[in-house]
Structure formats: C-alpha cells, structure tokens
C-alpha cells in the first residue's frame, strides 16, 4: 500500500499545512546550506549562467508537475464519471423492480436487490477506501442476477419490463467492474523519484543564485518550496479516488435507501376535511 494512502488519512487542512510547511522548510535549509559550502565570489561571478540554468530547470520541472497533475485529475474524473453512471443504472434498476407488476416476484427480487445495495454501501465502498477487495458484495450481486433470470413474465408487457431490467443490470455490472478495477489506480512508485528529486534540484539551483539581501533570498526560496508543496498536495489528494475525506462516496446507492424509506411512509389524504 502506497505511503500516499496513509497521507490521505490525515485531515486535509492539516495535511495541506504540513506539506506546504515542509516544502518551505526544505527551501530555507537548502538556501542556508549552499552558501556555506560554496564561495560567494564564485556564485557572484557565475550568477548570470546560474540564473539561465535555474530558469531552464524550473520550466522543465513545472512542465513535469503540470503533466502529473493532468494525469491524476483525468483519472479522478474518469472514476467519478463511471461511479455516477453506475449510480444512475442502480437507480433505474431500483425503479424497474419497484414497479414490476407481479407483486410476489417483485418483492422477492427487491429484497435481494436491497441486500446488494446495502453491501455496496456498508462493505464495498468502505473497503475500497482502504484499498481492499470486497467479498460479500459480489455474492449479493450474483444473487440479483440469479433471481432476475428466474422471473416468469406472464405477458408481453412484463417481458419488456424484464428486458429493460436486464439492460440496467448489465450496465450496472459494467460500470461496477470499471469501479472495482480502479481501486489501485495510483501513480507508480518509481514516478515519485523524478517528482521529488526534480523539486530538490530546483530548490538547489535557486539557492545557487546570488542575492545580496540574504533574508529576501531565504524568503523567496521558502515561497518556491511552499509552491512545490502545494502541487504535491494536489497530486496526493487526487491519487486515490476513494480514499480520504474528498474520496468518492456511494451517494446514489444511499439515495435508494432514502426512496425506499419514503415509499414505506404513510401518505396523507389531503382530500379529507379536518
């Protein structure tokens, strides 16, 4: 399990302040240590070349960070889109089962389907948040398929409704499969090496610049380190779509339980006089 997963268990604002402060601290330390081991006259003599090199390295590093942010952002949006489509299919299937004409078969199918929905909310999504597979939910989903296959439509209208239910069920199966495969969607560990090393090289090059006003140099490099820390915060936050407080939640499945609860509540007869 990647270390970024454990970072997401920290409250977002605490994690943001920590990583920004860490970047600023590294920037100050590098700026403080480089002149200690490099002669000021040498730095001043090559300041123009150092500035050109710093500009080139900072440009390439910003391009790298932008590329990584774009990748994780597209990945997060794709997963969120698939979960949204899965929820839409789940809601459509719920309505089809709810209004299935055969009362006995409809109730039996609804009982099995609500058990699946409960397992998704109670077991599957919490397990995905911790990057673990689910065991009970696939079994509950298989029971929905089994129960629907044994429906016995008594007329053509019921047959059309069953066909529509199977259509929603197959869509639900497809998008649920896409969601399940995205549990371990994260940046490969070896890609973190150029990200972190590139940030350190950028800060070292900035430290090699010779500024006569020492506090200003420390402040500027601290701001540069903090800015790099903000980029890292964005990358880590989007790296695991289902983990952390900003993770994707099963809102559509929870709404099914809300609709089921409303359906069981007695309806007031407004036509009766007080």
> In the chain, what are the domain boundaries?
3-245
Q: What is the pLDDT of residue 181?
A: 83
Q: Nearest 10 degrees: CA dihedral of 36, 37, 40, 46?
A: -140
**Taking the chain, what is the end-to-end CA distance rounded to the nearest angstrom?**
64
Q: What is the pLDDT of residue 195?
A: 92
Q: What is the pLDDT of residue 216?
A: 87
Q: What is the pLDDT of residue 214?
A: 78
List the single range of 208-212, 248-252, 261-265 with lowest mean pLDDT: 261-265
pLDDT band at 265 (very low <50, low <70, confident <90, very high): low
DSSP for the chain, written as a single string: --HHHHHTTS-HHHHHHHHHHHHHHHHHHHHHHHHHHS-HHHHHHTHHHHHHHHHHHHHHHHHHHHHHHHHHHHHHHHHHHHHHHHHHHHHHHHHHHHT-S-HHHHHHHHHHHHHHHHHIIIIIHHHHHTT---SHHHHHHHHHHHHHHT----SHHHHHHHHHHHHHHHHHHHHHHHHHHTTT----GGGHHHHHHHHHHHHHHHHHS--S-HHHHHHHHHHHHHHHHHHHHHHHHHHSTTSSTTS---HHHHHHHHHHHHHHSPPP-TTS--
Given a cut of 80, is residue 154 above it in pLDDT? Answer: no
pLDDT band at 246 (very low <50, low <70, confident <90, very high): confident
- Nearest CA among 161, 184, 208, 263 for reference residue 42: 208
User: Based on the number of CB atoms within 10 Å of its own CB, is 104 exposed (0-12), middle (13-18) or buried (19 or more)?
Assistant: exposed
Where is pLDDT greater, at 133 or 179?
A: 179
pLDDT band at 262 (very low <50, low <70, confident <90, very high): low
Where is pLDDT greater, at 153 or 70?
A: 70
Over residues 14-55, the pLDDT tens digits come to: 999 999 999 999 999 988 887 776 665 545 555 566 677 888
Q: What is the pLDDT of residue 270?
A: 38
Given a cut of 60, is residue 266 above it in pLDDT? Answer: no
Over residues 225-239, the pLDDT tens digits come to: 999 999 999 998 888
Number of Cα atoms under 13 Å in the Cβ half of residue 59: 6
Given a cut of 60, is residue 252 above it in pLDDT? Answer: yes
């Amino acid at each position: 399990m990647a270390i970024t997963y454990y970072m997401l268990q920290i409250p977002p604002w605490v994690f943001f302040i920590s990583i920004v402060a860490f970047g600023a601290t590294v920037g100050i330390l590098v700026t403080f240590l480089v002149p200690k081991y490099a002669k000021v006259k040498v730095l001043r003599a090559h300041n123009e070349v150092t500035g050109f090199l710093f500009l080139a390295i900072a440009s390439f590093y910003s391009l790298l960070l932008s590329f990584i942010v774009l990748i994780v952002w597209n990945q997060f949006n794709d997963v969120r889109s698939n979960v949204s489509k899965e929820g839409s299919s789940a809601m459509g299937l719920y309505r089809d089962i709810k209004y299935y004409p055969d009362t006995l078969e409809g109730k039996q199918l609804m009982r099995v389907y609500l058990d699946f929905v409960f397992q998704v909310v109670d077991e599957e999504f919490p397990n995905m948040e911790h990057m673990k597979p689910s065991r009970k939910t696939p079994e509950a989903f298989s029971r929905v398929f089994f129960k629907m296959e044994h429906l016995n439509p008594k007329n053509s209208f019921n047959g059309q409704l069953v066909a529509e239910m199977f259509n929603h069920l197959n869509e639900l199966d497809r998008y649920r499969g896409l969601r399940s495969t995205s549990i371990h969607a994260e940046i490969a560990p070896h890609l973190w090496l150029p990200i972190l090393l590139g940030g350190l090289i950028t800060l070292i090059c900035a430290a090699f610049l010779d500024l006569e006003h020492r506090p200003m140099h420390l402040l500027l490099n601290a701001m540069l380190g903090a800015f790099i820390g903000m980029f890292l915060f964005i990358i880590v936050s989007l790296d695991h779509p289902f983990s952390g407080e900003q993770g994707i939640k099963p809102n559509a499945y929870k709404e099914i339980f809300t609709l089921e609860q409303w359906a069981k509540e007695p309806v007031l007869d407004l036509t009766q006089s007080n």
